[in-house]
Chains A and B, each alone.
Chain A
Amino acid sequence: MKIRSTASAVAITAALALVVSACGGGGSAKKTGGSGAEAPASQYNAGVTQVVNPSDKTGGTLHMGMPGDFDSVDPGDQYYGYAWNFSRLYTRALTMFKPVPGKEGLELVGDLAEGLGKASDGGKTWTYTLRKGIKFEDGTPVTSKDVKYAVARSLDKEILPSGPTYFNDWLDNGDYTGPYKMKDKLDSWKGIDTPDDQTVVFHLKKAYGGFDYFAMLPSTAPVPAAKDTGTKYKEHPVATGPYMFKAHELGKRIELVKNPNWDAATDPNRKQLNDSVEVLLGQNEDDLDQRLLSGKIDVKINSTGVGANARKTVLTDDKVKQYADSAPLDRTWFTNLNADVPPLDNVHCRKAVLYAADRSAIQGAYGGPDAGGEVALSLMPSKMTGYEKNDLYGVEANPGGDVNKAKEELKACGQPNGFSTTISFRVERAAEKQTAESLQQSLGRVGIKLEVKGFPQGDYFKLYAGKPDFAKKNGLGLMVYGWGADYPEGFGFFQQIVDSRVIRAAGNTNLGVKDPEIDKLVDQAAAEQDATKRNSIWASVDKKVMDDAFILPYVWAHGLFYRPPTLKNAFISQNFGMYEFLTLSTQ
């Protein structure tokens, strides 16, 4: 027995040693590239502000890998940033974010359309003119009808459930529910007009100044009605972009090849450098990261970058870290304060929480400054269009909290010795658990006692924190949460989490921000057609939410992304918060 256990102990130790050395050496031992020495040394975060390894060479294959699968590759049926980023390789929506590094990447430009939309009727009508000469992959010219059909089909959430509902909610649809249920009724639909083959006119129920953002959604990418196969369209979406589907083995792999009918002359924003793009789906994340770090995979497709295990390697080994970028995302991690649960109905008690919280401890819980994000000063992420600095609680100076101010607020609230309440979080999320425990500690400094309670994330909104009755009855005073915008503009970020009119019986996204003034500001901002004015309204929404102390923001999320040294034209898209896929190349 003794000999046996010794032998196995040796085996395990040996295996562990190999793992350690394998992890440590994975990044630096680049046998395949062999370019470790000759490649120009890169800099950490270089890709956040500039194009890394610019190149115009052509040929080769871009290898992409993904831990899971896309929600769909049907442009009318997708909702994840990486899916939107990816679908632009083979489709063209009416507008797009400019594929350039830095703030300029947040600007919208025409894509299928010549330029941005022209508003009329006080922002209720938006007109786009299509570029000439754009063809589908089979050579058929793209017309405004194809755009109209594409948007119409995306309305049917039974067949195409995954995409956003902006067009369902904002277009003047009447009873129209899409071309599948209402065959041959496309002409009677008032939502979109096509006066000629090059012109698309959107009719809205009410004015919306930011409609160009809607026109950027992949559901405006043209779909030829004759080729539409409904739920099966994802097997081969018809291409208008520089690449087209050669193969799509569902759940396994996608292969894109050059689209011969894509004409660079009609598309100033895209390149067609690699001959093909291959995406491996459903990859083991640890192994995928290992292959990414060793340069065998060129890009990882996901929203947060390298996984937890590889993160350690990237951040601790400078040779590896130089090829990494910490990209700001359109996401804030925060905790809702529930005014239904006394004494948090008193704004001073809520402010006490905002003063007392130790945000730098929570930053650590989310992965630190590189992989987790910056300490948030307010709710709106600083990278977003129209951000104005707003530090009502002196967080920049005191990220660890301001105990004295908190005590003052407690006195003003009539609870000088603090109070007790419950904090909820999603049990599957380690960072949220640590956040709740960290708050328990930092709020404890001023006598606010927290009972920590985890709930399953699948039902967090349907049954627990997102169900006001439940939250009130169970005294959930604090609810750990987080929100990401669909696109980096105030409407997409704020509307779902601060507009009190979206609150329903269960399944809420707004966990309790109730202020008629905020609702009014949201309406104003939505209707405002002047971008500058609109942005400043969103900034005041941000201020008002902070002043009301309904939300305790603590981290503006970042993702830690890795670009192998062989990857060309790499930079972080400010919009997507990940590498811009359109420019990438291996040549």
Chain B
Amino acid sequence: MLLFVVSIATFAIFFLVPRLAGMSADDLASRYVGKAANDQMIHEAAIRLGFNDPLVVQYGRFVKGIFVGVDRNYGPGIEHCPAPCLGYSYVTQNPVLPDLLDRLPITLSLALGAAVVWVVFGVSTGVLSALRRGSFFDRLSMGVALAGVSLPIFFTGIVSLAIFRDQLGLVGDVADWVPFSEDPLTWANNLILPWVTLAFLYAAGYARLTRAGMLETMSEDYIRTARAKGLPERMVVVKHGLRATLTPVMTMFGLDLGLLLGGAVLTESTFSLPGIGKYAVDAINNNDLPQVMGVTLTAAVFIILANLIVDLLYAVVDPRVRLT
């Protein structure tokens, strides 16, 4: 349902906004022909791309592609793009779905790796800050956290590249993407800075959230009970305190991760990682509707999935929301 709404909205924005600006189908098509195209070529392109058809028909064609597939003339012959087919890019003429699948591992590696880093650092910083409330560590980490959420990634990204790669040489200079399955070391070497930079942005929020949650939880009655039972303090904090704090953290985590899997736009652009986010930027810059549709749908799928998983996990963590 959400996918349906998202796809219609994307579609409508793409077509209605130019129409409001007074662009004709040919004007629209002129974005997708070469520099030297004449009026006739543009007109033919508009017909070929179906821009003259009513919006409903165009949208129907898109939906049909998803369920039935699309036939396309690639020059020497006709090829079938099997369902689910997200169509072909107006600009590069490549089929969208393989492009997305090709870029997915990069975004997955980036998002999941960063997620591990930010959860570990964010949550542990938050816990320590809460336990040592008002201490130097607490103030320092909350200050750094503030910087983390305030500084834009294209700034921290370029700065960290300049420092850790160019000045200190701590990470190697392999800029092109290598999959984990091929060479895990190079994979990690390529991703460590993006992970940390991206995680810096998020860890801050998690540290603050965890700290606030821990401060609240640690004053709960059941924490006193746990202590009265003679539990060692570490168990009190981790098993009883943190466990209860993790529910809001988990909710936030699910949403963040879902969004990120739809493309870590700035990080991928800053670190030249050809993932979904970079793809999204290019798609939008090129007004490439099939690509934009593909990216939006991918993002929507991830957000839905993430929410679903969070809801399921929520029930696992908190027995009170379990269905009986």
Contacts and interface: CB of A to CB of B under 8 A. Distances in A.
Given A161-B34, A458-B287, A282 B158 contact: no
Contacts of B44: 158
Interface stretch (A10-18, A267-275, A416-424, A562-570): A10-18
A31 B173 CA distance: 12
A249 B176 CA distance: 11
B203 to A, nearest CB: 14
Interface in B95-143: 99, 102, 139-140, 142-143
Interface string A289-318: 011001010000000000000000000000
Interface stretch (B1-9, B146-154, B248-256, B306-314): B146-154
A157 B272 contact: no
B320 to A, nearest CB: 35
Interface string B204-246: 0000000000000000000000000000000000000000000
A286 B169 CA distance: 18
A283 B175 contact: yes
A164 B32 CA distance: 14
A444 interface: no
Given A4-B139, A463-B21, A290 B161 contact: yes
B53 interface: no
A272 B161 CA distance: 33
Contact of A15 (B33, B41, B139, B151): B151
A282 B278 contact: yes
B56 to A, nearest CB: 25
B166 A290 contact: yes
A280 interface: yes
B23 A462 contact: yes
Interface in B40-82: 41-42, 44-45, 48, 73-77
Contacts, number: 172
Contact of A22 (B21, B41, B159): B159
Interface stretch (A48-56, A225-233, A321-329, A363-371): A225-233
B75 A18 contact: no
Contacts of B166: 22, 26, 29, 290-291, 294
A281 B273 CA distance: 10
Nearest to B162: A22
A253 B176 contact: yes
A507 interface: yes
A153 interface: yes
A463 B34 contact: no
Interface in A198-253: 228-233, 249-253
Contacts of B278: 282
B30 interface: yes
Contacts of B269: 284
Nearest to A163: B34
B75 A153 contact: yes
A252 B268 CA distance: 12
Looking at A156, A180, A228, which has the most chain B CB atoms within 10 Å of its CB? A180
Contact of B175 (A153, A229, A291): A291
Interface in A1-60: 3-4, 6-8, 11-12, 15, 18-19, 21-23, 25-26, 29, 31-32
A284 B193 CA distance: 15
A495 B163 CA distance: 50
Interface of B is mostly: helix
A158 B48 contact: yes
B169 A31 contact: yes
Nearest to B278: A282
A138 B93 CA distance: 27
A165 B44 CA distance: 15
Contacts of A32: 173
Contacts of A282: 272, 274, 278, 282
A250 B161 CA distance: 25
A245 to B, nearest CB: 16
A159 interface: yes
Given A157-B37, A253-B176, A7 B271 contact: no
B1 to A, nearest CB: 32
B21 A280 contact: no
A287 B48 contact: no
Contacts of B181: none
B185 interface: no
A250 B39 contact: no
Contacts of B35: 79, 162, 164
Contacts of A251: 92, 99, 274, 279, 282
Contacts of A517: none
B159 A18 contact: yes
B146 A4 contact: yes
B186 interface: no
B144 interface: yes
Interface string B153-177: 0011011011100110100010111
Contacts of B159: 15, 18-19, 22
23 contacts: A4-B146, A7-B139, A7-B144, A15-B147, A18-B162, A22-B159, A26-B166, A79-B35, A164-B34, A164-B35, A229-B76, A231-B74, A231-B93, A251-B274, A280-B272, A282-B278, A283-B272, A287-B271, A458-B31, A462-B27, A463-B22, A504-B39, A506-B27
Given A163-B36, A253-B177, A504-B39, 5 more contacts: A8-B147, A11-B143, A12-B147, A180-B75, A290-B162
Interface of B: 21-23, 27, 30-39, 41-42, 44-45, 48, 73-77, 92-94, 99, 102, 139-140, 142-144, 146-147, 150-151, 155-156, 158-159, 161-163, 166-167, 169, 173, 175-177, 269-272, 274, 278-279, 282, 287
